Every structure is written in structure tokens, then in C-alpha cells.
Amino acid sequence: MKIRGIRGAITVSANEEEQILSATKELFMQICEKNQLKSEDVASIFITVTQDLNAAFPAKAIRTLPNWALVPILCANEMDVPGGLEKCIRLLIHVNTDLPQDQIQHVFLKEAVELRPDLMNGRK
């Protein structure tokens, strides 16, 4: 079994707690569904948000889900690169899996599809 990283990103339209939590949950649930993730298979989750999002900790959306409270989750600010995508939440989930790298399903939603078109919503 190896540790693999699963990427995902989503955008919101406003810096509001409900939008941040809802979008984080939507993205996380799609990643879990596409990769058949269970909490006991996840080593940790790293979440970044762009500088314009500070109304809520997106980790709260995951921690409150059944069976996910014990998974280590860390939030941070994404680099503030001029011209970068705004109002974006990014997830990097470290999972223990037997899947080869090319079988991992990365998920990019809303405006975030522009970040990694080569990985957009499926296999490379």
C-alpha cells in the first residue's frame, strides 16, 4: 500500500461562511465518492484558500461529517500570485491506497476547472 495525493479545488462567489463550508463539503464528498474513500484510509487533509476567503475555516465542513473528526486537517492560505484564481478552496488529501497513480480521480469544480485541465474530473 502506498500513500497517494488526491487533488481538488472549487470556487465560491462570495466570502461567506455558508458558501465556504458548503463548497468544501461538495468538493470533499465528490472526491470521496469518485475514489471510494473511507476515513480510516486517509492519513491527512491539507486545505488552502485564497487570500480573499476568511469567513470560515473550511476544515469545519469535513470535521463535522460522521467518522471524519479524527482525521488530521490543516488549513492555510494559498500563495497570492497576481492574476491567480480568486475565491478558491483547494484540497490535497493523502490516502493509503493500492491504486496506481493514474487511477486516482482528481476533482475540479466551478471556475477551478481552469487550474488543472489535464486532471479535470477524472483520470489523466
Read off the pLDDT of residues 43-97 as tens digits, 9 standing for 90 and up: 999 999 999 999 999 999 999 999 999 999 999 999 999 999 999 999 999 999 9
Strands 2-11 and 73-77: unpaired
Q: Is the pLDDT of residue 117 over 90?
A: no
- Where are the domains positioned within the chain? 2-114
Q: From residue 83, how far is each of 79, 80, 94 by CA, in Å?
A: 11, 9, 28
Give the pLDDT confidence of 15-47 residue by residue, as tens digits: 999 999 999 999 999 999 999 999 999 999 999
Q: What are phi and psi of 114, to 5 degrees?
A: -75, -15
- Residue 120: pLDDT band with limits 50, 70, 90: low
Q: b/e per residue, 85-118, with b = 16+ CB within 10 A? A: eebbbbbebbbebeeeeeebbbbbbbbbbebeee
And the C-alpha cell for 53? 476567503
**Rounded CA separation 106/92 (Å):** 10
Picking from 27, 6, 4, the residue whose alpha carbon sits closest to that of residue 92 is: 6
Check whether domain 2-114 has CATH 3.30.1330.40, yes or no: yes
**Rounded CA separation 110/86 (Å):** 12
